[in-house]
Amino acid sequence: MPLSEEQNQKLHLAEKLLGYHFADEQLLLSAITHPSATEGKSVKYSYERLEFLGDSILGALVATTIFEHFPNLDEGGLTRIKVALVSGTSLSDVAADLGFADIIVFGSSETGTGRRGLHSALENVYEAVVAALYLDGGYDVANDFIQRTLMPKMTPEMANEPENPKSALQEKLQEDGITPTYRLVETQGPPHDRTFVAQVYAGDQGLARGTGRTKKEAESQAAKSTLARLSEFLGIAANPEKAEAKAAAKAAKAEQKAQRKSQRAAKRQR
Run of H or E including 32: none
List the chain domain ranges: 5-160, 165-269
Report how far residue 250's alpha carbon sits from residue 254's, in angstroms, rounded to the nearest whole number: 6
Q: What is the largest CA-CA distance in the chain?
A: 82
3-state DSSP call for residue 234? helix
* 193-214 tens-digit pLDDT: 678 889 999 888 889 888 887 8
Report how far residue 222's alpha carbon sits from residue 87's, in angstroms, rounded to the nearest whole number: 13
Contact 46, 120 (CB under 8 A): no
Which class does domain 165-269 fall in?
A: alpha beta
Letter string b/e over residues 131-140, b meaning 16 or more CB atoms within 10 A of that residue's CB: bbbbbbbeee
Contact 34, 119 (CB under 8 A): no
Which class does domain 5-160 fall in?
A: mainly alpha
Whether pTM exceeds 0.85: no
- Report the mean per-residue pLDDT for the chain: 84
Contact 213, 195 (CB under 8 A): yes
Q: 102, 105, 87, 92: which is closest to 35 by C-alpha?
A: 105
Side-chain half-sphere CA neighbours of 21 within 13 A: 0
The pLDDT of residue 163: 67
Instruction: Give the mean pLDDT of 101-118.
Output: 71
State the DSSP code for 153.
G
pLDDT band (50, 70, 90) for residue 268: low
As annotated, the active-site residues are 55, 127
Percent of the chain with pLDDT over 70: 81
Report how far residue 222's alpha carbon sits from residue 209's, in angstroms, rounded to the nearest whole number: 5
